[in-house]
Structure 1
Amino acid sequence: MEIFKYKYDELFDPVLEAFHKLGGSGTNQEVEETVIQLLSLTDEEVDDVHRGNTSKLSYRLAWARNYLKRLGLIENSGRALWALTSEGLKTKKIDKEQSKIIVRKLSGTTNNKNRAKKQELSNLIAKSDELNELTWEDELVDILKNIEPDAFERLSQRFLRELGFSNVEVTGKSADGGIDGKGILKIGGVLSFHVVFQCKRYTGSVSSPAIRDFRGAMMGRADKGLFITTGTFTRDAKKEAQRDGATPIDLIDGNDLAEQLRDLRLGVEVQMKEHVIIKPKWFDSI
């Protein structure tokens, strides 16, 4: 049963409005939170999963951003960071049907029913780093979900060391009150933070009670907590992790972990295409 019922084209105007409310630019997360507020979405709608670790809201927002980019209304200056173009700053609402026609033309497709529709989708995905990223992230998260628990703990240990943690120990086998490990993070060679972590291979969503249990186990033993999972976190869990007056807990879900492993080149190889540009005028100056 589908809970989140907004289609990607129904999100065009909310996304544009979100950017205007954010001052003309924003990250994926900021835009998503603003859209949630604008549409008064329930937690059930926000947490409705599309596939793997990606919610229907996040997936359809990615499509909406891709279309708006193709229409010249937004641009991305970096991964997960977007801004309104000069045309976007002047635009508050768009005609959805007209936008579809324009995008089909930009994609080089015709109106030949299913074949054209499939070709349009393929072209759009091929030209969108964000949609491509969702595809390989799902594949990597599926692999992580199927490795042995102790292997996942060793991966988490290696992952934290690569991020700059020292004295990283895995303590999960000692049934240490829900704490799977601990480490020390030193900032600028001066400030040190004692961090405890929990790493779980979940296929579903981590809820707020799990966050509260973890916080209870770490009380008086660390400055911060880190919860790593191959699954996702419900909206309530995210709120609980950063609740005012409580020890803060940082959250890394499956997609976040996949991105970090990509950046650290842990089990992931990134191949870059070489593009050679010849500068004839350079030779004139010899």
Structure 2
Amino acid sequence: MSSLLDSVYLLLQESASPMHPKELATALIQRGMWSSKGKTPDATVGARIYCDIKKHGDQSRFIKAAEGFFTLNPNVKVELPDPGKNAGKAVKRKQPEKSAGSYSFSDCAEKILLHFSGNAPMHYRDITSKALELGWLKTEGLTPEASMYAQILTEIQRREKQGKIPRFEKLGNGMVGLTIWKSTGLERHIDSFNDKQRKVLMERMMQLNPQDFEELITTLLSKMGFSEVSRTPYGGDGGVDVRGIMTVHDVIHIKLAVQAKRWKANVQSPVVQQLRGSLGTDERGLIVTTSNFSRGARDEARRTSSHTPIDLIDGDQLVSLLVEYNLGVRKNRYQLLELTPSFFSDEEEI
């Protein structure tokens, strides 16, 4: 088994945002990546990360992103030893190549703000410029700055609709910051409460019988703007539970065949193949599940050469969509007053 810090490193690689030691400890134990007999495993995780940063300084693979939160050091590339091989040997730290990989606009913005802003807001043009310079952003568009700002604002609006704390904060005059820099205890408490409600929402979905679950998916698609949405006869659907039509600007009409899986186990590739074989003429497939998809299922869904691609919605995405479209939940809005420094300056807030 790899060391505790190696496991933390792997988790942070998967994470789209910094994590608190409590989140890390919970995920490590749940996934069997680490075990602890102590009463405060999160304190153990946090102490080990702090010690690594203190020992290695700028060459530590971890950095402190905000008070109590950690992320990976972008200036250090780590080669982890193979499990069971070279056990006990120190990990190798290398300087990363500039264009080690590319990310989405919003992920680029978060990484730039975490690692190059000094915990201070940046203008979206500067964020875009730095992302392009590092090779983290790959785009053929003629206006990457406008695309960057539009995607940041769109994500803020979408996460608010889903009852989540946005990653970004719009500060006016094109300036963007991260919410983790100024999140209050109240905001974190609300976020924690909402996470618990999401889990309850999932539990209630799991208690539905198959027909009621299909009816829920039918209602969700209708709320999302699909037309002519209807369930197929139960038991003789040939792998298709719901059909509908997605219309774009009254010009493009896409027929959709949906399979709804109220499962605990991951959906495997044969399910994707079955749905693809059941598609009618000009139909596109969609699988919605309360669980997740195996790697084989995701690979099969992405196959496009002479195959119709299949879209996938996993359990986390399904819960977010239910929250966004107010199905099974309602949003209560409480006003939290914050001062606006720009109000007392000569700058015009946009």
TM-score normalised by L of structure 1 = 0.58
In the alignment, structure 1 residue 237 sits paired with structure 2 residue 297: yes
Once residues 139 and 70 of structure 1 are traced to their aligned partners in structure 2, the CA distance between those partners, rounded to angstroms, is: 29
What percent of counterpart residues are identical? 24
Relative to its length, the structure with more helix (as a share) is: 1
Q: Please, which runs of 5 or more residues in structure 2 have no aligned partner?
A: 19-26, 34-45, 50-61, 72-104, 119-183, 344-350
Superposed CA offset, 1:121-157 (max 9, x none)? xx99973877665543322111101112211111111
The aligned residue for residue 115 of structure 1 is: none
The total of aligned residue pairs comes to 212
Residue deviations 1:85-129 (CA, integer Å, cap 9, x gap): 5562499xxxxxxxxxxxxxxxxxxxxxxxxxxxxxxx9997387
Aligned residue number for residue 250 of structure 1: 311
Q: Which amino acid aligns with 1:227?
A: I
The letter of the residue matching 2:241 is: D
Residues 115-130 of structure 1 mapped to structure 2, 5 A cutoff: 127=188
Q: Which residue of 2 aligns with 1:175?
A: 236
**Match of 2:111, as an amino acid?**
L
Give 1:190's aligned residue. Answer: 251
| Cα distance between partner residues in 2 of 1:161 and 1:277 | 37
Match of residue 24 from structure 1: none
Counterpart residue identity of residue 161, structure 1:
S
Q: Which runs of 5+ in 1 are unaligned?
A: 20-26, 32-47, 58-62, 92-122
CA distance in 2, matches of 1:6, 1:146: 39
When residues 276 and 229 of structure 1 are mapped into structure 2, their CA distance, relative to the original with a 3 A threshold, is same
* Contact preservation (8 Å) 1:199, 1:229: yes
CA-based RMSD:
4.6
- CA deviations over 1:69-92 (Å, ceiling 9, x no partner): 446777xxx99886125562499x
Q: What is the letter of the counterpart of residue 201 of structure 1?
A: R
TM-score (norm 2): 0.49
Q: 1:88 aligns with which of 106, 115, 124?
A: 115
Q: What amino acid is aligned across from residue 269 of structure 2 in structure 1? A: S
Is 1:267 equivalent to 2:328 in the alignment? yes
- Distance in 2 separating the partners of 1:173 and 1:154: 11
Which structure is richer in relative contact order (CA contacts within 8 A, separation 6 or more)? 1
Alignment partner of 1:148 out of 200, 203, 209 = 209
1:166 and 2:235 are equivalent in the alignment: no
Q: What is the 5 A alignment of 1:1-286?
A: 10=6, 13=9, 28=16, 68-70=65-67, 83-85=110-112, 88-89=115-116, 127=188, 134-173=195-234, 175-218=236-279, 220-245=280-305, 246-277=307-338
Tell me: CA distance 1:230–1:10, structure 2 relative to 1, closer, same or farther (3 Å): same
Q: Give yes or no for contact 2:267–2:294 (8 Å, CA) kept in 1.
A: yes
Amino acid in structure 2 at the alignment position of 1:156: I
SS in 1 for 2:110: strand
